[in-house]
Amino acid sequence: MTKTAWVFPGQGSQSLGMGMDLLDLPSAKEKFARSENILGWSVIEICQTNEEKLSRTLYTQPCLYVVESILADILQEKYSPDLVAGHSLGEYVALYVAGVFDWSDGLRLVKHRAALMDNAAGGMMVALINFDREKLEKAIDENPDAVLANDNSPTQVVISGTPEAVHAVISQVNAKRALPLKVSGAFHSPLMAEVAAEFQHMLDSVEFQQAKMPVLSNVEPVPSTDADILKQRLRQQMTGGVRWREIALALPDHEIERVVEIGPGNVLTGLIKRTSSGLILENVRSVAELPAN
């Protein structure tokens, strides 16, 4: 039988209208209603009509968690994955699917994380496309206030840090494209240490269970089902880098042949395609893309 990994995208993959084809399903209606009680606002309303709010961290992250988890629940009625992973916010959906915490606890964590990150300031993030990796590593070594926040693929990374340090790295690397990200702070960098410390209190209040299947974490792309290890890795995620390129490279090493990206867009399957060859790549972005049986 084909070994399958499910992967879940993070912030940046959201799109207006996402999840709205789920509204006719009773199980989805129940989750949307429960999310409104936890969040104090309507995921449906924002995903349907409010593009400006949907692009703001405070709303983006909970909306993605709700929509991706509902799609995963429906898919899990048909079969379960052999391994899961998620990109940044997507790791919370992966942990939920693996049974590490219940759905409501996961949404409360995401709500708190989103609020803290939305209030972060004093840094920036820039995506670099087509660059010399050796020059990049040297530039980051020479600019300690900039870090490799997202190592997405051999040709795409995100730099995070103080504006001065990030601009210094860009000037030394000569990337084909440098795209500033519309985020409030320097996510996945040491500049988030204060925010991460505040978030830890919330994280410590949630009980983690042993995972039902291995999880590849952002900060340590080695599969684990251990509750304590997975919680410790999540603690490190806010200040640590997303090692997605290494996650993609690890998939064939663990006999994964098929990867299903669950959620809006196709960012992760695109990154995996550029990193690991020979994998079957599929997307489940909507009800229409769910398997019939």
pLDDT tens-digit series, residues 19-35: 999 998 998 999 999 99
Write the pLDDT tens digit of every residue in 255-267. 999 999 999 999 9
Query: Does residue 280 carry a pLDDT above 90?
Result: yes
CB 250 within 8 A of CB 204: no
Whether the pLDDT of residue 292 is over 80: the answer is: no
Full 3-state SS string of 94-123: HHHHCCCCCHHHHHHHHHHHHHHHHCCCCC
**Most confident among 46-50, 116-120, 209-213 (mean pLDDT):** 209-213
Catalytic option among 13, 88, 153, 217: 88
Q: Which class is domain 4-120+189-289? A: alpha beta
Catalytic residue among 69, 188, 217, 276: 188
Please state the rounded mean pLDDT for residues 74-82: 95
Cβ atoms of 264 and 9 closer than 8 Å: yes
Rounded Cα distance between 93 and 264, Å, is 13
What pLDDT is stored for residue 165 in this prediction?
96
pLDDT of residue 183: 86
Domain limits, the chain: 4-120+189-289, 124-180
Residue 279 has pLDDT above 70, yes or no: yes
Query: Is pTM beyond 0.85 here?
Result: yes
Confidence (pLDDT) at 293: 65
> Which pLDDT value is given to residue 130?
95
Q: What is the mean pLDDT of residues 46-57?
A: 94
The architecture that CATH gives domain 124-180 is 2-Layer Sandwich (3.30)
Mean pLDDT of all residues belonging to the chain = 95
- What does the alpha-carbon distance between residue 135 and residue 173 come to, in Å, rounded to a whole number? 6
Is 87 annotated in the active site?
Answer: no
pLDDT at position 171 over 90? yes
* Residue 104 is a catalytic residue: no
Tens digit of each residue's pLDDT (9 = 90 or more) over 79-104: 999 999 999 999 999 999 999 999 99
Give the model's pLDDT for residue 219. 97
Rounded Cα–Cα distance for residues 226 and 32 (Å): 30
Domains 4-120+189-289 and 124-180 share a fold: no
